[in-house]
Structure formats: structure tokens, C-alpha cells
Amino acid sequence: MTRWSPDGRRRLQDAALQLFEERGYSETTVAAVAEHAGLTERTFFRHFNDKKEVLFDENRLGELVAAETRASDASTAVEMAADGFRAVAAQLQLEPARVRRRALVIAASPELQERELLKITEWTAAVTRALEAERVEPRAARIAAEVSTAIFRIAYGIWLEATDPMNLVATLDALLEVLRSVLVTVPRGSDAVGARGTSSQG
């Protein structure tokens, strides 16, 4: 059963991450990844549909975000979806160094960026379905899913680029607070008191 073990999957992911970093994504073959992991190409394709997929454990994260959205007992639709993304954030927060290495590999390849965009679109769809399953009105479900996805992406971007250690879940929570604020006010920078009144744009 060794070739089916989660350990094999993880070894392939580790090998891929390392080779993509060293040689670049395009320059690395599936055969090289499998060999580096001490496994066969055939085993690789038992775990992953294609070379890109080895970097994306997001099918699992997609299931997680949907399950946690459904399980949420939050009092607003956005908060339900946010509970889904909090679970994903907590997961990523477990291995910050690895997540950042992976992000750099993706950032270096338009092909991988495209796949990442597609995965995120799938998360949004999964969250929409999860909210609908909890009887949220369809348009509201879609909007809550899209908005919480956008907030998650911004939080993730800020977290990836942070030079000091930073907690992804806390960043997400802070941005959800900002989201509430942008819907009830115009949050000005501290030096902006009265600035709009003197603007010639109005």
C-alpha cells in the first residue's frame, strides 16, 4: 500500500517544490519529480492529474472551506463564508515557510498563476453552493462568497509579503473589520481631515 500512502503524496509535493525552485517549473519534468521522491511517474499520476496539480492541494482546501461555511453558525452570510476561509487560513498558517516558497514558484509561472486563479474561482463556487445548501438566497450567497473570497485573497497577499511574522487568521479578521467600515463610511487616512473639502475634484 506504500504507493497510495499520504506520505507518497507529500514526498511528491516536497520533491516538486524543491525542483521547481531550483530549475523552474517549465524545466522540471514529472519524471524528474517522481525520481526525486523515489517513486514512479505512474504513482505521480495516481496522486495528481498533471504537473501543475502537485502544487495545488486546493481540492482539499476547497472541501474544507465549503464544509466550514456550512458548519458555521455565524449571524451574517459573509461571516459564514468567512468562517470557511478562517479554516483555510488556519491551515496555511501551520506551514508559513512552505506556503511562501510555493507562492514564489507560482508567481514565477504564468501557467501556474492561471491554475491558481481557476482554483480560487472553484472555491468561490464551492462557498456559494455551501451557502445555498444552508438556504441562503442565491444572489446573496454568490455575493457573500465573492466578497469573502476577495477579502481572503487580499489578506493572503498581505500575509505573503509581510516581512515580520504575521498571523493570517488575524489579518483576515482585520480586513473583515475594514470591509464593514467601507460600507458605512469613507475611512480617511489620518492626515486627511477636511482634505476632500479642499479638493478641486468634486
Footprint of a copy of itself on this chain (CB under 8 A)? Answer: 70-71, 73-78, 80, 114, 117, 133-140, 142-144, 146-147, 149-151, 153-154, 175, 178-189, 191-192, 195-196, 199, 201-202
Phi, psi of 53 (to 5 degrees): -60, -25
In single-letter form, the type of residue at position 33 comes to V
CB of 87 to a copy of itself, least distance (A): 14
Any idea what DSSP says for residue 185? Answer: S
CB of 170 to a copy of itself, least distance (A): 14
Q: Which is nearer to a copy of itself, 34 or 106 (CB)?
A: 106
For residues 121 and 107, give the distance between their C-alpha atoms in angstroms, rounded to a whole number. 18
Phi, psi of 189 (to 5 degrees): -60, 160
Q: Which is nearer to a copy of itself, 107 or 178 (CB)?
A: 178
Q: Which is nearer to a copy of itself, 164 or 191 (CB)?
A: 191
For residues 177 and 53, give the distance between their C-alpha atoms in angstroms, rounded to a whole number. 34
CB of 125 to a copy of itself, least distance (A): 13
Name the one residue in this structure whose C-alpha cell is 506556503: 99
Q: Which is nearer to a copy of itself, 97 or 184 (CB)?
A: 184
CB of 136 to a copy of itself, least distance (A): 6
CB of 122 to a copy of itself, least distance (A): 15
Q: Which is nearer to a copy of itself, 42 or 135 (CB)?
A: 135
CB of 101 to a copy of itself, least distance (A): 24
Are 87 and 71 a contacting pair, CB within 8 Å? no
Reported as half-sphere exposure (CB side, CA atoms, 13 A), residue 142 has a value of 2
* CA 134 vs CA 48, 122, 155, 199: distances in Å: 32, 18, 26, 47
Are 17 and 101 a contacting pair, CB within 8 Å? yes
Q: Which is nearer to a copy of itself, 32 or 67 (CB)?
A: 67
